[in-house]
Amino acid sequence: MSLAVASRYSRALAEVVFAPQCSTKPEQVIADLDAILAAMAGSPDLVRILRSPAVSLNQKRTILEKLSAQLGGSPVTANLLKVVSDHGRITILKEIKRSFQQVVDERHGVARAEITTAQPMAPEQKIQLEAALGRLSGKSILATYQQDDALIGGAVAKIGSLIYDGSVRGQLATLRRKLVNG
């Protein structure tokens, strides 16, 4: 439910940001939202105030305006915060940012890949893997790498909801299913 709502907000935000007359860049909005989310994560009192029904909408707006100004946020971000706060959706700001990131990536033809390996990868392998994933998705790949010993060997690449599993753990799991199901 919150994902669907977040998607609506993010698409509306993208329409504003990608409009020709808008001077604010999408990356700027993403950076602003990251800063706001970091501030909220560091201040539970701030979150409590923004969520509280006892605090009026005007007070919340004032707080968010001051916060956005202190963090050097763009007017588009400040407006977004006002709208989200007025509709009581400040709790899904993180999802809105994530969804907006995806929209921006889609518009830029970028796919974010999470690559997990058992051992650290060599740079040339990273280049080869990103190239292979780029050819596979038809987009340029922005990859993030992490290590997981449980994979035993090989690698797992995740792009959006698609998972490419080339790990030993995955192959053993496939073998197990075959053994159990006969």
Q: Residues in the site for other proteins, rule: CB under 8 A?
A: 117-119, 121-122, 125, 128-129, 132-133, 135-136, 152-155, 157, 164, 166-169, 172, 175-176, 179-180, 182
Q: Name the nearest CA neighbour of 32 among 74, 94, 82.
A: 74
Cβ atoms of 42 and 29 within 8 Å: the answer is no
Minimum distance of other proteins from residue 4's CB (angstroms): 31
Give 2 or 128: the residue with its C-beta nearer to other proteins: 128
Query: Which whole-number Å values give the CA distances from 108 to 25, 26, 28, in the listed order?
Result: 12, 10, 15
Minimum distance of other proteins from residue 127's CB (angstroms): 10
Give 80 or 113: the residue with its C-beta nearer to other proteins: 113
Minimum distance of other proteins from residue 107's CB (angstroms): 24
- Which residues are CB-contacts of 92 (< 8 A; sequence separation ≥ 6)? 2, 5, 6, 9, 84
Give 43 or 147: the residue with its C-beta nearer to other proteins: 147
Give 74 or 117: the residue with its C-beta nearer to other proteins: 117
Minimum distance of other proteins from residue 5's CB (angstroms): 35
Structural tokens at position 139: 């987009």
H or E stretch including 22? none
